[in-house]
Amino acid sequence: MITPGINQELQQLQGVYQLVTEFLITYSFQLVGALLIFLLGLWVASKVSRLVAKQFKKHNVDITLSNFVSNLIRILIIVMVGIIALSKIGISVTPMVAAIGAISLGAGLALQGMLANYAAGVTIIVTRPFVVGNTIEIKGESGVVKRINLGMTILTNEEGEQINIPNKHIVGEILHNSFSNKLVETQFNLSYSTDPEHAISVLTELLSNNPYVYQETTPNIGINGFNAVGIEMSVRYWVPTQSYFQHKYKVNLALYIALKQAGIEIACPIKEVHIQHQ
């Protein structure tokens, strides 16, 4: 014997079954068409994305920008096809588009810092003020560019530290790019009794044959000025950034040894004290 409660539930299930059956009969062609449109859209999105990535690779565009643009195009195509598929089965997409717009506005306001970093990352990749392997200095931080991401640029220094700089702090700022080498400037004083041309000759020969000095850029050696101590000499040369301090110390030691072996005196401050007896 079927109780009234069970009978009521069976009637409700029968009503749901009839509703689903009528919906499938009425909209079966629309559902199949919407599904085919969506599947075709996925295929087109994948093809277009690969084509864009291939063209970027052909023109040697940075891989980070290539992946970003190709994925963005793929997502946009899928969203457009999804809207078309929904409209095919009679679902109004106008409220959905409005809701997506409102959500996007809210997300944009909440994530404006992150979006600013991404926009700056695209600018860096397109304009290429530096590339991986260059030595840059920005806002007092310097190092070799290890990786350029859309959100941040990663540097490493000689101490092995990793420095993460948000891209929004790079674009629009004063940027120093010394590529793969860095300048060393050294000053010292020679006695006024020293022949400066001889000293310049000794230092030039040493720097021209030193394996730690970058030889593509000619070192500069000359008289920087004159003071109470002696002739102020200035030496400028380039060394690889990744071993900046190691090479700088070795080259400076070699400069000192070369001057000493050549009998050239490095002047130092001397204070004379006169004692007057009464």
Please, where are the H alpha helices in the chain?
Answer: 4-58, 63-88, 94-110, 112-127, 196-208, 244-261
Query: pLDDT > 90: what percent of the chain?
Result: 19
Tell me, what's the pLDDT at 123?
84
Q: How far, in Å, CA of 113 to CA of 120, rounded?
A: 11
pLDDT at position 109 over 60: no
pLDDT band per the 50, 70, 90 thresholds, residue 272? low
Does pTM top 0.85 for this prediction? no
Assign 159 a pLDDT band (cuts: 50, 70, 90).
confident
Q: Please give the C-alpha separations between residue 44 and each of 47, 56, 57, 85, 203, in angstroms, as whole numbers.
A: 5, 18, 20, 14, 66
pLDDT, tens digit, for every residue of 176-220?
887 778 889 999 999 888 899 999 999 999 999 999 999 888 899
The mean pLDDT of 109-119, rounded to a whole number, is 70
Q: Is the pLDDT of residue 256 over 60?
A: yes
pLDDT score for 274: 61
What is the tens place of the pLDDT at every residue in 72-108? 888 888 888 888 877 777 666 666 666 666 666 555 5
Which residues of 149-219 form beta strands (DSSP E)? 152-156, 162-166, 175-179, 181-190
